[in-house]
Amino acid sequence: MLERLFQLRAHNTNVRTEILAGVTTFLAMAYILFVNPSILGETGMDKGAIFVATCLAAAIGSATMGLIANYPIALAPGMGLNAFFTYTVVLHMGHTWQVALGAVFLSAVMFFLLSIFRIREWIVNSIPLPLRSAIAAGIGLFLALIALHNAGIVVDNPATLVGMGDLKQPSVILATLGFFLIVGLESLKVRGAVLIGILAVTVASIAMGVTPFGGIVSMPPSLAPTFLQLDIAGALDVGLISVIFAFLFVDLFDNSGTLIAVAKRAGLMGKDGYMPKMGRALIADSTAAMAGSLLGTSTTTSYIESAAGVSAGGRTGLTAIVVAVLFLLALFFAPLAGSVPAFATAPALLFVAVLMASGLAEINWDDVTEAAPVVVTALAMPLTYSIANGIAFGFIAWTAVKLISGRHRDLNPALVILSILFVIKLGWFNA
């Protein structure tokens, strides 16, 4: 049955290798089980329900990817998108988390339609590669600011906007050591380095009496507080169009980049650079995002950590199915997730930020018409506390700089139209 479903021989693999790859991928991305409830919980959502929603969304997404596309790619609620959900849409813009879930659902429906009608390629190709790298780097810097704040290293300062916190606090010390541990283990190629870092800080915090211990295993918490609580009608408000677009936009490029990167590493790309069954993979991703919003979590997307499983030999959807099963088993570890403090997940956020900021290395810094919009995009996200604002400023800066410098060939109709819409959205025409 497994041979018929996943064509193991054709991909030069076997069941044992695929199971090992699935376990490897799960260990590399299991940190989301602790980080997602920590971030989304700040909106007032029930953390137990978020934990269950995270497990189920990851299981549904990974299983769908494995069965529909037969790719060794796992899915879970995306980093960056959960921060945008909490810190921008809910805490900064003042919308309810129910409305934010509605926006996630609508963006997923749009993603599904774009995948069905193959409009995705046109959108992706219309956005310059440097801007895509800038968006990823900007999200990384945004996560870094959140991580440093959660750790207590960066605090509010009325005189200078931000300042340094009390570095003698146990939470600051533990978070700092946790980050060093994660980076060290990752450099040594230790599987599950991020997960080990989170658990090490949590155990040390409990042992020192800084945080309480809630247990390890129990029956899963109730999903009722978040299940089908999304407010789609509220998300259709005109003011949320840019929010829906931001969810869609980030997921679109993040997912496309992840799929291509993992497929290349797995040897699944064609000689012409074409990725077979790309459409199926995108449909699986958008379906998982819709399911996640119904369950009660932010956008579910493909994980670059899937590359860890590919490195371990994963080549088929059986790897993703193994990940799905492990996320279902994780449902019984809710008390452990509840025992993880925010400063224990901060090192993981900061490490993910390091990985995302690496895209800046691909920028041609000698071309100021490319470098300037990239810097504007990357800095605007953390400094305005909004991924959507960063994208808007980046598009506008790119279009304006290219027009003024006479580099019209670097523009296309889609880019110009989006820039004009962003100018209107920011209210500059009404100033």
Record the pTM.
Answer: 0.75
Question: Which pLDDT does position 261 carry in this prediction?
Answer: 65
By C-alpha distance, which of 252, 197, 207, 268 is closest to 27? 197
Inform me whether the pLDDT recorded for 289 exceeds 50: yes
* Mean pLDDT (whole number) for 323-342: 86
Inform me whether the pLDDT recorded for 147 exceeds 90: no
pLDDT in tens, 333-363: 888 877 888 888 888 878 878 887 887 888 8
End-to-end Cα spacing for the chain: 64
In the predicted model, what is the mean pLDDT of the chain? Answer: 83
- Rounded Cα–Cα distance for residues 49 and 294 (Å): 12
Report the alpha-carbon angle 273-299-270, nearest 5: 10
How far apart, in Å, are the Cα atoms of 224 and each of 20, 232, 336? 34, 18, 20
Q: What is the DSSP string of 196-258?
A: HHHHHHHHHHHHTTSS----S--SPPPSTTTTT---HHHHTSGGGHHHHHHHHHHHHHHHHHH
What is the gyration radius of the CA atoms in the chain, in angstroms? 21
Instruction: Dihedral sign for Cα 234, 40, 133, 391, please.
Output: positive
Question: Tokens representing 153?
Answer: 């290293």
| Beta-bridge partners for 157 | 161
pLDDT in tens, 73-120: 899 998 778 888 898 888 888 889 999 999 899 988 988 888 787 676
Is pLDDT larger for residue 192 or for residue 157?
A: 157
By C-alpha distance, which of 72, 9, 17 is closest to 284? 72
* Mean pLDDT (whole number) for 9-21: 80
Percent of the chain predicted with pLDDT > 70: 92
Inform me whether the pLDDT recorded for 429 exceeds 60: no
Q: Which are the contacts of 314, defined by CB distance < 8 A and separation ≥ 6?
A: 13, 17, 18, 21, 22, 24, 25, 72, 266, 306
pLDDT in tens, 233-251: 888 875 677 778 778 877 7
Instruction: Dihedral sign for Cα 187, 190, 195, 197, please.
Output: negative
Tell me which amino acid residue 88 is: T
